[in-house]
Amino acid sequence: MSKGLPLNPALASVPVYQPGRPIEEVARELGLPAAEIIKLASNENPLGPSPAALAAMQRVLPQLHLYPDGNAFYLKQTLARKLELVPEHLIFGNGSNEIIEFVGHALLGPGADVIVSQYCFAVYPIVTRLFGANLVTVPAKNLGHDLPAMLGAITPRTRVVFVANPNNPTGTLASRQEVLRLVEAFPDDVLLVLDEAYIDFLDDPVDLLPLIRSGTRKNLLLMRTFSKIHGLAGLRLGYGIADPALIAAFEKVRQPFNINALVQAAALAALDDAEHVARTRANNRAGLEFFSRAFRALQVEHVPSAANFVLLRVGDGQRVFEGLQRLGVIARPMGGYQLPEWIRISIGTPAENERCLQALKRVLNR
Ligand SMILES: *Cc1c(COP(=O)(O)O)cnc(C)c1O
């Protein structure tokens, strides 16, 4: 009798991540040219990558037979200088998703508790389960994080608390006061991960870098990414900012060449492309206003967003997602987030936003 492979038992409870559908896949399915389909499903930068990053990658192409710099020296130096930190405060990941995995390797295992909010980013529960740890979900407040309740949920078993601010998929923003209170009252022997993937879209974000610089919060990890504001989601680059002792622990679990040569060159150039960042922010602000005005006029319930997407209540989210898709607009259904009545739409270019709105009106019969 076959006994089968002795798979890691933790895998049985690991949820499967459901990404936004790729344009090519939907094009094949609908029999449409890819150029006629727009994707507003994964909070990507609708203006594309920074042109400076594209040029920098061209220059690296002839060197691709060589391994990348395993320490990403120039990129780390430049980013550290920009953030007024030292390189020892920084670690790069293959997307900030990989930083979340470093947290698992360094801190999680059976018997450990991880605290998240209801409607949190899908990767936190995945990594928690992957390492055999126990997920503790704190009910949301008005769809956002209830930070005092998350603090109150900490027990001696808690190892890590994940907070995304602004949060994905809701777009909600915790107040400055609540964030500062959380950081201040947080116990020293638990890791607080503050996911700042959307921080660059905020006008006046809470700045927690002083706590890292001064070394007063050795249990605080900030995570940021090049996927959103810099438009480099396809290259995969995120980073963690923390006390050098925690960064050193993460360095031990990181694969030697996790950041490839193209992304190192592209990110270095993107960091200096202030114009692309400014254009992205302006486009996003205008797009958020466009959608919230349109949804108010249509009386479609939506969550005021601090990020580059908006969550709206459409009734049967899966049906509306499919209807939009037939019209060539890829949005994101939210059933996997226990929000089956809602869909999430990423902010596009003005033309994409207009097309998405017209498609939505048709699907909703408005
Ligand atoms: C998009 C996003 C990230 C970034 O992921 P990458 O792996 O860097 O592309 C991280 N956290 C949240 C909450 C996000 O929405």
Report CA(96)–ligand 1 centroid distance (Å): 6
156 and 232 assigned to the same domain: yes
Shortest-distance Cα residue to atom 7 of ligand 1: 95
As given in the structure block, the two tokens for residue 210 are 């002083």
Cis before 166? omega within 30:
yes
CA neighbor of 80 nearest in space, from 70, 92, 88: 88
Q: Is the pLDDT of residue 47 over 70?
A: yes
Report CA(6)–ligand 1 centroid distance (Å): 32
Shortest-distance Cα residue to atom 3 of ligand 1: 197
Element holding 124 (H helix, E strand) = helix 123-130
Angle in degrees, CA 173, 175, 180, rounded to 5? 125
In the predicted model, what is the mean pLDDT of the chain? Answer: 97
| Distances 105 to 132, 228, 249, 251 between C-alpha atoms, Å | 11, 25, 9, 11
35 and 161 assigned to the same domain: no
Report CA(127)–ligand 1 centroid distance (Å): 14
- Judge whether 142 lies within some domain: yes
Report CA(137)–ligand 1 centroid distance (Å): 20
**Ligand 1 pocket check: which of 123, 193, 310 to mutate, most ligand atoms within 8 Å of Cβ?**
123
Task: Tell me the average pLDDT across 115-123.
Answer: 97
CATH code, domain with 266: 3.40.640.10
Longest dimension (CA), the chain: 65
Task: Tell me the average pLDDT across 46-71.
Answer: 97
Report CA(42)–ligand 1 centroid distance (Å): 10
332 and 233 assigned to the same domain: no
Task: Tell me the average pLDDT across 247-276.
Answer: 97
Report CA(237)–ligand 1 centroid distance (Å): 10
Dihedral sign of CA atoms 353, 355, 356, 358 in order: positive
Angle in degrees, CA 137, 142, 145, rounded to 5? 40
Q: Is the pLDDT of residue 1 over 80?
A: no
Of the residues 221, 254, 270, which one is the last residue of a structural domain?
A: 270
Report the domain count for the chain.
2
CA neighbor of 231 nearest in space, from 282, 204, 266: 266
**Ligand 1 pocket check: which of 45, 94, 167, 225 to mutate, most ligand atoms within 8 Å of Cβ?**
225
Report CA(197)–ligand 1 centroid distance (Å): 6
Q: Find out whether 262 and 284 touch, Cβ atoms under 8 Å.
A: no
67 and 184 assigned to the same domain: yes
Region of 43 on the Ramachandran plot (φ > 0 left; ψ -120 to 50 alpha; else beta): left
Report CA(132)–ligand 1 centroid distance (Å): 22
Shortest-distance Cα residue to atom 10 of ligand 1: 197
- Judge whether 225 lies within some domain: yes
The Cα–Cα gap between 86 and 122 comes to 31
**If you search the block for the tokens 């980073």, which residue do you land on?**
239
Residue pLDDT, tens place only, 2-28: 688 999 999 999 989 989 999 999 999
As given in the structure block, the two tokens for residue 182 are 């959380």
The Cα–Cα gap between 77 and 88 comes to 10
34 and 100 assigned to the same domain: no
Residue 83: band (very low, low, confident or very high) from pLDDT cuts 50, 70, 90: very high
Quick one: which atom of ligand 1 is closest to the CA of 98? 7
Count of C-beta atoms within a 10 Å radius of residue 1: 3
As given in the structure block, the two tokens for residue 63 are 């060197």
Angle in degrees, CA 295, 297, 301, rounded to 5? 40
The pLDDT value given to residue 196: 98
For 258, residues 6+ apart whose C-beta sits below 8 A from its C-beta are: 92, 93, 94, 98
Of the residues 270, 294, 318, which one is the last residue of a structural domain?
A: 270
Of the residues 238, 270, 302, which one is the last residue of a structural domain?
A: 270
The Cα–Cα gap between 288 and 201 comes to 11
253 and 174 assigned to the same domain: yes
The pLDDT value given to residue 3: 80
Instruction: Kindly report the pTM of this predicted structure.
Output: 0.96
| Distances 241 to 21, 168, 212, 222, 320 between C-alpha atoms, Å | 31, 20, 8, 5, 39
- Judge whether 5 lies within some domain: no
145 and 222 assigned to the same domain: yes
Report CA(261)–ligand 1 centroid distance (Å): 21
Range of the domain at 128: 59-270
**Ligand 1 pocket check: which of 121, 202, 337 to mutate, most ligand atoms within 8 Å of Cβ?**
121
Residues of the chain with pLDDT > 70, as a percent, come to 99
Shortest-distance Cα residue to atom 15 of ligand 1: 168
The Cα–Cα gap between 78 and 288 comes to 32
Q: Is the pLDDT of residue 150 over 70?
A: yes
- Judge whether 2 lies within some domain: no
Residue 41: band (very low, low, confident or very high) from pLDDT cuts 50, 70, 90: very high
Task: Tell me the average pLDDT across 107-123.
Answer: 97
Quick one: which atom of ligand 1 is closest to the CA of 227? 9
CATH code, domain with 345: 3.90.1150.10
295 and 247 assigned to the same domain: no
149 and 222 assigned to the same domain: yes
262 and 279 assigned to the same domain: no
As given in the structure block, the two tokens for residue 4 are 């089968």
| Distances 345 to 112, 150, 233, 336, 360 between C-alpha atoms, Å | 35, 28, 17, 15, 11
- In DSSP terms, 193 is beta-bridged to 162, 221
Shortest-distance Cα residue to atom 1 of ligand 1: 197
104 and 161 assigned to the same domain: yes
- Judge whether 3 lies within some domain: no
- Judge whether 179 lies within some domain: yes
The pLDDT value given to residue 121: 97
Pocket of ligand 1 (CB under 6 A): 43, 95-97, 121, 164, 168, 195, 197, 225, 227-228, 233, 238
- Judge whether 4 lies within some domain: no
The pLDDT value given to residue 366: 87
Residue pLDDT, tens place only, 288-343: 999 999 999 999 999 999 999 999 999 999 999 999 999 999 999 999 999 999 99
Report CA(334)–ligand 1 centroid distance (Å): 17
- Judge whether 53 lies within some domain: no
288 and 199 assigned to the same domain: no
Residue pLDDT, tens place only, 182-233: 999 999 999 999 999 999 999 999 999 999 999 999 999 999 999 999 999 9
